[in-house]
Amino acid sequence: MLVRASAALRRGLPRRLRFGSEGRRLSGGRGEEATAGCFPLSRALLRFQGPEAVTFLQGLLTNDVTRLAAAEGGAADAPRAIYAHALNVQGRCLYDVILYRSQEEPHILLECDAGILESLQKHLKLYKIRRKVNITPCLDLSLWAVIPKELSQEGACKFQQCAGKAVVATPDPRVGVMGWRLITSKGTEPLEVVPGSQIGNVKDYHRHRYKQGVPEGIKDLPSGIALPLESNLTYMNGISFTKGCYIGQELTARTHHMGVIRKRLLPIQLSTPMSSESIPEGAEIVLESGKPAGKYRAGVDELGMALLRLANINEPLHLKISGDSHVRVTASIPKWWPKPANK
């Protein structure tokens, strides 16, 4: 699986990824250049154990959780991780999560935005009722994003050989340009799993994903507001249209089968770097005529994401800051998006 991910990474990964001036080198040789950046993520992890864990999550999430359990039955192509959203009954996103199959014990780990952990636990408790499933926070684990500067097949093989030293080591299930996800025991250095790596500044991780157009967390996907298909859930392997019922399925399935999505989350670049505090929440993006074209979601410096009307993305766009104050915006289509079918 790691080897297969290398082709996708080469297609979309920038040739050089800055790890930040605060990054520290973890490998031995002086003067050697780090081959990958390991970014500590402020995301939370929950552990699901019990005979009904898979069934419980299957009814709450957009993706097919049974694919994780398939590995226990010997399925060679079963994934180690899947991406999904939990929706409300109106079909709007509540939480974006990544599920992992632990290689140490038969249980599932769930990654979520740390800022909504308490809210998610209440949501799970509401639907748990008498299910035979135990849900506990993983205070003994650390979560890392590993993004190589340039991934080759040889590098993927080396990572695979060292993966046994981690609780979980797997390609990011959303899209190849996001590298790998790594879960280790507290205190374990990434060097033990990723030879030649360097601890990176997490700001550079967020710059990378905003440049690639990959949303993550409550700021990019505001709870009860974001819609899954407008948030590119299909493009990021986060939804199954064949799994059966789950909360929020009806509107999502109907939108998918209609085949009309007029707005999408897109990576944007501002004409000048700006702090997130200086941009009002949900700030409007307009055309030169003043007609609304979309809304700003979140970003770092000059990079960010916005929900935009696809019909307007090639026109001059402006972000309204306050009053008559505008900043020029350039939107782009990520290279990893599927190519439109020829008509």
Kindly give, in sequence order, each residue whose CB lies less than 8 Å from that of residue 19, ignoring residues fewer than 6 positions away: 34, 37, 198, 199, 200, 201, 204
Beta bridge partner(s), residue 328: 318
pLDDT given for residue 312 in this prediction: 94
pLDDT per position in the chain (343 positions), as tens?
333 344 444 444 444 455 544 444 443 344 467 778 889 998 999 999 999 999 999 999 999 999 987 655 556 577 899 999 999 999 999 999 999 997 666 789 999 999 999 999 999 999 998 899 999 999 999 999 999 887 555 555 566 666 667 788 899 999 999 999 999 888 888 777 787 778 999 999 999 999 999 999 999 999 999 999 999 999 999 999 999 899 999 989 998 888 889 999 999 999 999 888 889 888 999 999 989 999 999 999 999 999 999 999 999 999 998 777 889 999 999 999 998 755 4
Q: Rounded distance, CA 174 to CA 154, Å?
A: 22
- Please give the backbone phi and psi of residue 236, each rounded to the nearest 5 degrees, phi first: -100, 25
158 token code pair:
């080396």
Tokens 């010997």 identify what position? 74
Q: Exposed e or buried b for every residue in 149-167, given b needs 16+ CB within 10 A?
A: bebeeebbebbeeebeebb
Tokens 């590098």 identify what position? 155
Q: Rounded distance, CA 248 to CA 234, Å?
A: 15
pLDDT given for residue 152 in this prediction: 57
Strands (E), 68-107: 81-87, 93-101
pLDDT given for residue 159 in this prediction: 62
pLDDT given for residue 78 in this prediction: 79
The domains of the chain, with CATH numbers, are 1-259 (3.30.1360.120), 262-331 (2.40.30.110)
pLDDT given for residue 157 in this prediction: 59
pLDDT given for residue 195 in this prediction: 77
